[in-house]
């Protein structure tokens, strides 16, 4: 989730640096588009395409902290391509405005001490391998933000990954909000927010051009504060503790 040239904290863990550079280059292109086509975005509406309807409230993430899952450069670029087209067509620039980065949110809380999470996330990342992802459908959130997203196939490995993270957080006494508990979490990658109601159909057509499924890997996990989004730290999924 993230106006100006992107600025982030240090990405820890080798290959995360190359991923950040790829993302930053793409965001430079998108920001050029945004500066040309900055618009006022309004309206409400709910649509879905080619997938079961997924209903949950994302308004809880108005301010706070989030643990996010980041992708390999090729997959990240596919998501950024959608952002770029939506911006060029003046459909949505919200994710660019808040300086977001393509991601899947694993956990979010309005009040939490970042330092408390760093060791938890670092240890967790060291036990995990890159995670295979396949974005196979498109969906919309039924709220006043008009969010469109790509939904990954909810594979056992993805669900176990999330469940293990929740277990690690709970062991440290961190409460998991209802929408991020394993039995109710709906994994999704936002591609547009605050889309005008009259342009929702056009936005879905743009996303169809991605020719789903789009596949790749989750490579990094990190903590951000929002909004605007500022990355506090991230770690590569490296499985080094089993080496």
Tens-place pLDDT, residues 160-177: 999 999 999 999 999 999
Fold exhibited by the domain 16-242:
Cyclic Phosphodiesterase; Chain: A, (3.90.1140)
Tokens of 44: 């409400």
* 189 close to 101: Cβ distance less than 8 angstroms: no
Interatomic CA distance for residues 101 and 78, integer angstroms: 12
pLDDT in tens, the chain (243 residues): 333 323 223 233 334 444 444 444 455 544 444 333 332 222 333 333 343 333 334 444 448 999 999 999 999 999 999 888 999 999 998 888 888 899 999 999 998 889 999 999 999 999 999 999 999 999 997 676 789 999 999 999 999 999 999 999 999 999 999 999 999 999 999 999 889 989 999 999 888 888 899 999 999 999 999 878 899 999 999 975 444
Place of tokens 């998991």: 176
The residues that bridge with 105 in the sheet, in sequence order, are 68
- Strands of the chain (E only): list them: 64-71, 104-109, 131-140, 148-152, 189-192, 214-226, 230-236
What pairing do the DSSP bridges indicate for beta strands 131-140 and 148-152?
antiparallel
CA quadruple 107, 230, 8, 23: dihedral positive or negative?
Answer: positive
Domain ranges of the chain: 16-242
Tens-place pLDDT, residues 30-74: 444 433 333 222 233 333 334 333 333 444 444 899 999 999 999
Interatomic CA distance for residues 190 and 229, integer angstroms: 14
pTM here?
0.73
DSSP state of 199: G
């Amino acid at each position: 989730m993230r106006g100006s040239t992107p600025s982030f904290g240090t990405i820890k863990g080798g290959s995360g640096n190359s991923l950040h550079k790829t993302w930053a280059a793409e965001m430079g292109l998108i920001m050029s588009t945004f500066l040309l086509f900055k618009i006022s975005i309004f309206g409400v509406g709910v649509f879905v395409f080619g997938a079961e309807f997924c209903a949950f409230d994302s308004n809880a993430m108005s301010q706070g902290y989030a643990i996010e899952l980041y992708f390999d450069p090729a997959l990240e670029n596919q998501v950024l391509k959608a952002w770029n087209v939506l911006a060029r067509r003046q459909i949505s620039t919200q994710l660019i405005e808040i300086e977001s980065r393509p991601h899947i949110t694993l956990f979010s809380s309005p009040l939490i001490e970042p330092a408390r999470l760093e060791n938890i996330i670092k240890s967790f990342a060291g036990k995990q391998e890159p995670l295979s992802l396949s974005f196979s459908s498109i969906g919309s959130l039924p709220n006043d933000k008009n969010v469109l997203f790509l939904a990954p196939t909810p594979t056992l490995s993805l669900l176990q990954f999330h469940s293990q993270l929740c277990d690690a957080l709970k062991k440290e006494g961190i409460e998991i909000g209802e929408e991020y508990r394993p039995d109710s979490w709906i994994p999704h990658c936002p591609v547009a927010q605050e889309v005008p109601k009259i342009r929702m159909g056009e936005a879905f057509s743009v996303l169809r051009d991605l020719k789903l499924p789009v596949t790749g890997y989750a490579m990094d996990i990190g903590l951000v504060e929002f909004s605007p989004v500022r990355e506090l730290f991230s770690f590569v999924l490296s499985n080094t503790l089993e080496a």
